[in-house]
Structure 1
Amino acid sequence: MKAAILKDFGKPLYLEQVESPKLGTGEVIVKVIAAPIPHYAKSVFSGERQYMLELPLAPGAGGIGIVIAVGPDSTKLKEGDWVLCDPTVRSRDNSVNPDIALQGISARGKGGLKLQQYYRDGSFAEEMRIPTENAILIGNLTNDEAVKWSALNIFLVPFGGLLSIDLKAGETIAISGATGFYGSAAVATALAMGAGCVLALGRNKTALDHLVSIFGDRVRPVVLTGDEETDKEKIQNTAPNLIDCVLDILPPSVSANVVRTAIMTVREYGRISLMGGVGMLGGKDLELPYTWIMRNSVTIKGQWMYRREAPQQLISLVKAGLLSLDHFEITEFNLEDINEAVEYAANEKGAFKLTVVKP
């Protein structure tokens, strides 16, 4: 089969003929039809992000495909099924504190790296091997529909954060980083989950106004100035009610001050989910006042990716018509043009911009 191989950080991906992955117990083999390219893939492959990634391997985090082989312990999946390939691979020998790897892109700790050393088949290939539980049934699709459905991988990230703070129908939530690649998806997902109002925080007025044009007046834009006290007051004055929760999903390049501003607008007993990359590349870390957290009974949760059941729940939102996959402007590339595709994704990383490779 053909696969794009990352051999060295800072070097192009090499398109090669490699051996097809071999099936083991507890695994399935999927023919990859469409795979999204994260906007940050270039910075991972260059080594800039310093992610745990042992080379060489076929990168690519998840996608949409067709099952072509199942293991002997599979009771529901069968050949020919269309599935979401969930890239969040968890170890099976500790359900309380599993090690985690993002197949083809990163790992968490030494245990996650060990997982990644085994699951080396990312989605930038014609076929990939994934754990059985990571093949999530979708239902019949066409190849063209599969490209659109690959946006699920984008929605899944903020969905994990929103689930972690138990966003409820009718609540007011502030999205810190609302105009970005994942932030715009967070706005759409929060509305699909029933948020009464989404405060979209950002510095780009045009991008914020675009969100309002898509989703209507349940989205209230807040153009940030960079001054903490001024912005805190603007956010709270824009909200129709007290702010129940905040989701931060800002990239590593942003100052921690911006995160703190958003967080400190939440009401008493408010909930906060931290999913962004602030501090990842150095710089000042997030500093929150102990007394404010304690006296306001604020819950702060860190969330990396999402719970195991989240992909199936997200698919249900789409099938119910609550979450639309039509918001994305999708640009398609063939596997032969993978390096061009990675470069394109890095430059087209705004709201609802999606780059997809079709192996």
Structure 2
Amino acid sequence: MKAAVLESFGQPLNVKDVPAPVRGTGEVLVDVVAAPLLSYANEVFSGQRNYILPPPVIPGCGAIGRVREVGPDSARLKPGDWVFCDPTVRSRDNALSPEIVLQGWSARGEGGKKIQRYHLDGAFAEQIRIPTENAIPTGDIDPAEASKWCAIVTLLIAYGGLLAMELRAGETVLVSGATGNFGSSAVLVALAMGAKRVVAPGRNMRVLEDLNRRFGSRVVTLALTGDADRDTQAMRQAAGEPVDAVLDFLPPSAQASVARNAIMAVRPCGRVVLMGGVGMLGGEDLALPYPWIMRNLITLKGQWMYAPQAVHTLVGLIRAGLLDLDHYAVSEFPLAQINRAVDSAAQQSGPFNLTVIRP
């Protein structure tokens, strides 16, 4: 089969013939129809992000495809079924604290590295081998719309954070980093889940204006100034009522103080979920005040990716018409043009832009 291979960091991907994957027990083979190319893929492939992704490897984080072959433990899946290939692979031998690897993308810890040795290759290929539980049925999809369904990869991460904070219909949520890819998707998902109001602070006025245009009065945008006290107070005032929860999606390049200002806009007894990259490349610590957390009964939680059941309910939101994939502008590339696609994804890294490989 054809696949795009990362031979070494800092080198272009090499599209070549490689052996097709062989299915084992507890696994499914899927013909890849469309695979998303994340906007920061160039930073991963250059080595800038220091992701654990040992070359040579077929990268690619998630896909939409059709089942080619199922194993003996598959009760319902059958060849031809449309599925989302969930890249979040979890160890099966520790349900309490499972190790996690992002197939074709990254891993965490020694346990994750061990799993990654087997579940290494990702979706930038004509076929992919995944654990049976990672082949999530989507229902029938028009092949022409398969690329649009690749937005699930970004939406799921946002959805995972909102589920982790136990967002309830009618609540007010603040999305820190709302002008980025994941943050803007969080705005979309929060509205689909019934948020009364979403506060979206940021510094990119063009994106803030676009959020207002797309979502109307349920989204309140706010231009940040960089002044801590002023910004925190402005976020509280913009909400018009207490902020029930804060979801942080700021990137590694953001200053910790920006995240801290948004977090401290939450009401007493409020919830905060951290999913961004602040501090991953060094710099200032988040340094939240201990007395403020304790005396205000703040719930602070870190969340990486999402719970397994999130995929099923997110597909339900899409099928119910509550979450509209038409917000995403899709740019498609054949596998042979993978390096051109990597450049394009970086250049069109704004919210609701989606770059997709069609093997």
Q: Do the two structures share a fold, i.e. TM-score over 0.5?
A: yes
Q: Deviations over 1:107-147 (max 9, x none)?
A: 01111111111012211000000000000000111211111
3-state SS, counterpart of residue 201 of structure 1? strand
Matched residue, 1:51: 51
Q: Deviations over 1:28-71 (max 9, x none)?
A: 00000000111111111111111111211100000100000001
TM superposition score normalised by structure 1: 0.99
Q: How big is the shift at 1:104?
A: 0.5
Separation in 1, partners of 2:347, 2:250: 17
Separation in 1, partners of 2:12, 2:207: 32
Q: How big is the shift at 1:237?
A: 0.7
3-state SS, counterpart of residue 84 of structure 2? strand
Matched residue, 1:325: 325
Which amino acid counterpart does residue 88 of structure 2 have in structure 1? T
Separation in 2, partners of 1:67, 1:100: 23
Counterparts of 1:181-200 in structure 2, within 5 Å, are 181-200=181-200
3-state SS, counterpart of residue 217 of structure 2? coil
4+ long deviations beyond 2 Å:
none
Matched residue, 2:90: 90
Which amino acid counterpart does residue 84 of structure 1 have in structure 2? F
Separation in 2, partners of 1:240, 1:197: 9
CA contact (8 A) 1:124 1:335 kept: yes
Q: Deviations over 1:244-274 (max 9, x none)?
A: 0000001100000000000001001100000
Separation in 1, partners of 2:197, 2:6: 43
CA contact (8 A) 1:21 1:121 kept: no
**Are 1:249 and 2:249 matched, yes or no?**
yes
Structure 1 residue ranges without an equivalent (≥5): none
Q: Deviations over 1:303-335 (max 9, x none)?
A: 000001111110001011110100011100000
Separation in 2, partners of 1:26, 1:42: 33
Matched residue, 1:17: 17
3-state SS, counterpart of residue 157 of structure 1? helix
Separation in 2, partners of 1:142, 1:238: 41
CA contact (8 A) 1:148 1:326 kept: yes
Q: Deviations over 1:216-244 (max 9, x none)?
A: 10000011011111101110111121000
Share of identical aligned residues, percent? 57
Separation in 1, partners of 2:153, 2:351: 15
Structure 2 residue ranges without an equivalent (≥5): none
Which amino acid counterpart does residue 115 of structure 2 have in structure 1? L
Matched residue, 1:307: 307
3-state SS, counterpart of residue 194 of structure 1? coil
Separation in 1, partners of 2:180, 2:353: 9
Matched residue, 2:102: 102
Quick check: 141-150 or 191-200, which moved more? 141-150
Which amino acid counterpart does residue 291 of structure 2 have in structure 1? T
CA contact (8 A) 1:54 1:113 kept: no
Separation in 1, partners of 2:226, 2:350: 20
Matched residue, 1:231: 231
Separation in 2, partners of 1:123, 1:53: 14
Matched residue, 2:41: 41
Separation in 1, partners of 2:313, 2:246: 21
CA contact (8 A) 1:247 1:275 kept: yes
Count matched residues: 359
> What RMSD over aligned residues (CA atoms) do the two structures have, in Å?
0.7
Separation in 2, partners of 1:9, 1:206: 34
Matched residue, 1:266: 266
Matched residue, 2:80: 80
**Are 1:175 and 2:175 matched, yes or no?**
yes
Counterparts of 1:131-142 in structure 2, within 5 Å, are 131-142=131-142
3-state SS, counterpart of residue 199 of structure 1? strand
Separation in 2, partners of 1:16, 1:96: 40
Matched residue, 1:293: 293
Matched residue, 2:66: 66
Matched residue, 1:348: 348
3-state SS, counterpart of residue 241 of structure 2? coil
Q: Deviations over 1:177-229 (max 9, x none)?
A: 11111111000000000000000110112211110110110000011011111
Matched residue, 2:28: 28
Quick check: 200-209 or 331-340, which moved more? 200-209
